[in-house]
Amino acid sequence: MSGLLYPLRLLPRGTNLAIYERCSDAWEEELLGDLMHWPAASTAPAVLEILDAHGWGLVG
């Protein structure tokens, strides 16, 4: 398998993973839904927990 593992620019502790298309046979996709409906620890959508953990928010 081939790909790149590199640090996130906006989140210093985060990591990105880029996998080359030629590796697609080794991976299986699983439909998990979207972040607005992902199971969260609270009643708020999980995406809000993720943003809060990084000190970010949504502006409407």
Look at residue 58 and tell me if it is in a domain.
no
Look at residue 60 and tell me if it is in a domain.
no
Look at residue 59 and tell me if it is in a domain.
no
pLDDT, position 53: 79
pLDDT over 80 (residue 5): yes
- Domain of 33? 3-53
Instruction: Give the tens place of pLDDT for each residue, 10-54.
Output: 777 888 888 787 777 777 878 777 766 666 666 767 777 778 877
Look at residue 18 and tell me if it is in a domain.
yes
**Count of structural domains within the chain:** 1
- The Cα–Cα gap between 60 and 51 comes to 15
- The Cα–Cα gap between 27 and 15 comes to 19
Q: What is the CA radius of gyration of the chain?
A: 15
